[in-house]
Amino acid sequence: MTEAKKPYPTPHIDACPDDFAKTVLMPGDPLRSKLIAETFLEDAKLVNNVRGVQGYTGVYKGTKVSVMASGMGMPSMAIYSYELFNIFGVDNIIRIGSAGGISDKLNLRDIIVAMSCSTDSNYINQFDLPGIYAPTASYELACTAVDKCKQIGAKYHVGNILTSDTFYNDKNDRNMKWDRMGVLAVEMETAALYCNAARAGKRALAICTVSDHVMRGESLTAKERQESFTEMMEVALQTAVSLDKPQW
């Protein structure tokens, strides 16, 4: 009898399920993935480097944790999160990325725990739902992340963000309209992550640092974006450790 072909490695992840922890942190930038592994994880090993999208698994405070980049935009996040959830057996994905502030409440380097996510993308159409779906974070992950923000004294906000398909947009007043609806910030990945988690019956959360404020014209440099988001990283890592213990 011929042995059934395993669904891994995939065209995007050259690894086996055992190579990944049950919780994966996902920055957009592969270099940020490398930074987290080298700075925070013990015995970190490179488990994926297809297309330069670096994935590492190591130990943080006694808990096995993985970190792998998602790339930019919903299509890229959709591929990696789908494969991790459905093929590699990952249970939790925590996005740790940057976002552009829309609300006047936000300042550079503030942390956003994305409770829910609006989007201008057609990604949700594939699910053929008889209405408008609202992509939402895992309640357990969001509550845990808020607790960790409080413990380390981080300035944080909880609320709705916007996942957009466009970084450069021809409609100059679009952010003002989202601001009127209480949307805190804009980024490009979270809606795909939340939809994939819901469809797979898994858990997801986006924790973002405000890297620029699109309404005020303020911004961090590319180097600052890559290296200065340590509070967000610590919140995500401590959340991952909490998931390894009975909480709920």
- Residues that are catalytic: 212
CA dist., res. 222 & res. 211, Å (int):
9
Q: How many secondary structure helices (H) and strands (E) does the chain include?
A: 7, 10
Peptide bond into 27 cis (omega under 30): no
CB count within 10 Å of CB 191 equals 30
Residue 33 parent element (H or E): helix 30-40
Find the radius of gyration of the CA atoms of the chain. Answer: 17
What spatial distance separates the first Cα and last Cα of the chain, rounded to whole Å? Answer: 45
CA dist., res. 49 & res. 19, Å (int):
13
Three-class SS of residue 98? strand
Residue 90 token pair: 């990952």
Listed in sequence order, the residues at least 6 apart from 63 whose beta carbon sits closer than 8 Å to its beta carbon are 21, 240, 241, 244
Decide if 14 contacts 50 (C-beta within 8 A): yes
Listed in sequence order, the residues at least 6 apart from 238 whose beta carbon sits closer than 8 Å to its beta carbon are 61, 148, 151, 152
